[in-house]
Structure 1
């Protein structure tokens, strides 16, 4: 039989039972569609991971106050104008010094929304953070209400505070209409703003943040247990260079008092995440293809049993076993090819749909889409091997007796 005869016979057999053929190829459609979709979503999410790393991790530098050597250890190494010095560096967007104020051991270590109250009122042990105005801009905040304190508040050592959304809810402060105040250790601070969210230093959402200069006047410099830090937000690509320059800009004579921590190189982590996602999704796609192959094999085997009289008649008219084998293998391959074409289209539409819904950029490898129909045809071909072998072993006399 020529290839043309094989294809013609296969199409004739499929078109005789169009409903069954469509349901049989559905397994391949799902398998190939999943194959294309998961590989496309893997590439798309990997690209999104890259952009997330670039937007946040690769633009953040943390500077720690190490205090220098034991001989000249100082409680606060950052100069008063540390923010101004660092923000002059090319590539720096915002920078600010901050530390956690320790209230433990003081006469009143409670943060309250009212001055008077029972001993159990308020938040004992609540985080109180002393910060430069630049820190509040470096964390990329979203304000629920009010504003951030600025350079004027810091310069004039004003008793103002910005609350994180979590702490504000605990204290019962939901609005700034009545100019509420919080009382930290018995001292009143006017609440000027409430943070809804931050992209960096999420612990600030459970904290009350006061100007650094005000905190120094009231509680002094940080103790050895809560060393000051500086958060620096930079342009993309400038973080590692800024990490080298910050100690010199802060104190050229005592650079050892500052430990600048540059962002880790995200390339290895991105590769690891992408590899893990790729392996997981590829395994899932292969499982779907196997399920589709089992469906084709099962339906083809049932078709062989139902078409036993037809096979016997063909054998009686001179068809050999190889002809019957070729016919059923071709039918399975055609089913797989059609399922692969439809599945590749469905998978591509799924990737584009998810990307549009998430406001991402869809990434679909042309090689994946091009090889998907071939994968479907190969799946169908392999699935038809056993049914075709069973069909070829049917004896004409026994088949015609049925």
Structure 2
């Protein structure tokens, strides 16, 4: 380390003593001038040499101190790497996972709107609020992808349904299933798939055909696997030919245990006539608008009588999910970072104890306490900075790798990537405060006498 001195020309003594006085008092002690010199140092007066160190020399000296013990410095840096890396990984993976969770929530529920139609009052001759042909008005709304109408009743929610008309004593031949009526667009509205056969169409509805479609669980309970031989189900004193099996419900899963009839057939055979619910699927972001317009489209004169069930605004839900997950993993990352800071502090303190002789020599050569402390603070800050850079890089690589394996879209905050090295440097700076103070308080004489 290079110490440089700034020297000014000494001021002339305003009251010089004659040469004889020095000869007359040869044993005059010089202690009388020391207090004056010390007070001058404290005042920073001219004529006193004040050592100072170039910042470049300080940085070079700190870097050489770090590289002088490469293995120890690497292990010390590893603590900060783990802390910063864990912090970046946890926050990055948490943000990516939260985005994925909310994205799936968006896809499954944020596009589902249900309009509930109240039942008509008993013994009333008024027209229904929503009729079957009127449901088509919803399809003309902007943002609507699919829609379907359902008719349900408490009277048909638990009927005894049999797969054959032969009653064998002692053998359970019937199942308690719900019977509903639905428009032919139901498979698309519930995001289901026709597993076997087909769904009824407008021709079946117009002809009042006695056909039925079973939910996949209802078909399993009744023992029906194929429809090629036109199996039939029996309930309420009527037989219905099974033409298809509907499964894979992503909405209205309870329909998997139901018998689904065309609207006209349900009205003729089991008395299901009134539309009870309208299922609407919208494009992402259009649910709120469709929820406001659907009642007017279905019942222009009685829109207030309809109840709309729509998903809430997901902007707050998204922030809440990300905030909760980020908060949880942020605590884990900070714990790892604290562990790394403790490691830097311990190693720096050990380094100070090992370099007592070096510290004493520097103090004897004119280095001030501040300069000694600055050297060790620079070393610890350098270790923290290196750990932050390496940890941030490794953390981003891990986040991208996990996202690629899980087929997710990685979410990386640029502020986190840029702030991680700064955080590492701050951790190193704080971790080196106590060791640096310990080094600066060593007295030159005691330090030189200490065993190396």
Q: TM-score normalised to the size of structure 1? A: 0.81
Where structure 1 has 5 or more consecutive residues not aligned to the other structure, the ranges are none
- Residue in 2 aligned with 1:134? 185
Per-residue deviation, 1:329: 1.3
Per-residue deviation, 1:380: 0.9
- 1:119-176 per-residue CA deviation (whole Å, 9 max, x = no partner) reads 7847854444432222321122245555444333444444221323x55555555666
Per-residue deviation, 1:326: 1.8
Structure 2 residue 405 is the aligned partner of structure 1 residue 357: yes
Greater relative contact order, per chain length (Cα 8 Å cut-off, separation 6+): 1
- Residue in 1 aligned with 2:64? 12
Structure 2 residue 252 is the aligned partner of structure 1 residue 204: no
- Residue in 2 aligned with 1:152? 203
- Residue in 2 aligned with 1:382? 430
1-side partners of 2:118 and 2:76: how far apart? 69
Match 2:370 to one of 310, 322, 332:
322
Q: What root-mean-square deviation, in Å, do the aligned CA atoms of Structure 1 and Structure 2 show?
A: 3.6
Contact kept, 8 Å, 1:83 with 1:134, in 2: the verdict is no
CA gap 1:118/1:102 in 2 versus in 1, 3 angstroms: farther
Structure 2 residue 114 is the aligned partner of structure 1 residue 62: yes
Structure 1 counterpart SS, 2:280 = strand
Per-residue deviation, 1:316: 4.8
1-side partners of 2:82 and 2:209: how far apart? 66
Structure 1 counterpart SS, 2:426 = helix
How many residues are paired up?
395
2-side partners of 1:311 and 1:49: how far apart? 57
- Residue in 1 aligned with 2:334? 286
Kindly report which structure 2 residues correspond to 1:125-274, keeping only aligned pairs within 5 A, or say none: 125-155=176-206, 156-164=208-216, 166-169=217-220, 187-190=239-242, 192-198=244-250, 200-221=251-272, 228-274=276-322
Larger C-alpha radius of gyration, 1 or 2? 2
2-side partners of 1:154 and 1:177: how far apart? 21
CA gap 1:212/1:389 in 2 versus in 1, 3 angstroms: farther
Structure 2 counterpart SS, 1:193 = strand
- Residue in 2 aligned with 1:298? 346
2-side partners of 1:73 and 1:5: how far apart? 98
Per-residue deviation, 1:243: 3.1
2-side partners of 1:128 and 1:215: how far apart? 9
- Residue in 2 aligned with 1:366? 414
- 1:40-62 per-residue CA deviation (whole Å, 9 max, x = no partner) reads 34544455456445544443221
2-side partners of 1:57 and 1:144: how far apart? 24
1-side partners of 2:76 and 2:364: how far apart? 29
Structure 2 residue 150 is the aligned partner of structure 1 residue 98: yes
Structure 1 counterpart SS, 2:410 = coil
Where structure 2 has 5 or more consecutive residues not aligned to the other structure, the ranges are 1-52
Match 1:337 to one of 354, 363, 385:
385
Structure 2 counterpart SS, 1:95 = strand
- Residue in 1 aligned with 2:394? 346
- 1:172-212 per-residue CA deviation (whole Å, 9 max, x = no partner) reads 556667666555567455151241342x2233344443434
Structure 2 counterpart SS, 1:97 = strand
2-side partners of 1:146 and 1:183: how far apart? 19
2-side partners of 1:252 and 1:269: how far apart? 33
Match 1:85 to one of 129, 132, 137:
137
Contact kept, 8 Å, 2:94 with 2:325, in 1: the verdict is yes
Q: TM-score normalised to the size of structure 2? A: 0.73
- Residue in 2 aligned with 1:392? 440
2-side partners of 1:11 and 1:246: how far apart? 70
2-side partners of 1:74 and 1:49: how far apart? 46
Contact kept, 8 Å, 2:65 with 2:379, in 1: the verdict is yes
